[in-house]
Amino acid sequence: MDIEAYTALLPEVTAENRPYWDGCAAGELRLQACDACGARWFPQAPVCPECLSGSFTWKAASGAGTLWSWFTMHQRYLPAFADELPYLVAYVKLAEGPFMISTLVDPPDELRLDLPVRAVFEPNASGRTIVKFAVAEGAAR
């Protein structure tokens, strides 16, 4: 993997998203939670997407979710991932409600909708820890 190209794809760490990245480094998936209505969301935003309150707290999420959709990337659209081809892109619905796009670590040969998954955290050469997903323990592979 071309680490320079990969690092360029990562969002800048800012005061607004630092709690998310600090959580990743600590092995914890953190989401914003609205202090007014309790909704959780991802990615980070300045107001709640449900009630538009600007009052929120970063809270640890369970890391549990289900596979909502996926596809396998065979073409080299991004040079940073040329050495990874083919790779799986997973759309995961978190137990708390939001969706995340990531990948599955060690995916089974056959995937299915609603496959239980859990967040895993992988440090990479860029110095950042990235959220990926793995099949949850006890889920039929």
Residue 82 · residue 110 · CB < 8 Å:
no
Residue 83 · residue 114 · CB < 8 Å:
no
DSSP label at residue 16: T
Q: Distance of CA 30 to CAs 16, 70, 87, 113, Å?
A: 13, 23, 25, 24
pLDDT for position 78: 81
Q: Coil, strand or helix: which one is 2? A: coil
Q: What is the pTM for the complete model shown?
A: 0.89
Q: Distance of CA 5 to CAs 8, 78, 83, 140, Å?
A: 5, 9, 12, 36
Q: CATH 2.40.50 in the chain, residues?
A: 63-141
pLDDT per residue over 14-48, tens digit each? 999 999 999 999 999 999 999 999 999 999 999 99
Region 46-75 average pLDDT? 97
Residue 141 · residue 117 · CB < 8 Å:
no
63-141: CATH number: 2.40.50
11 cis-preceded (ω within 30 degrees of 0): no
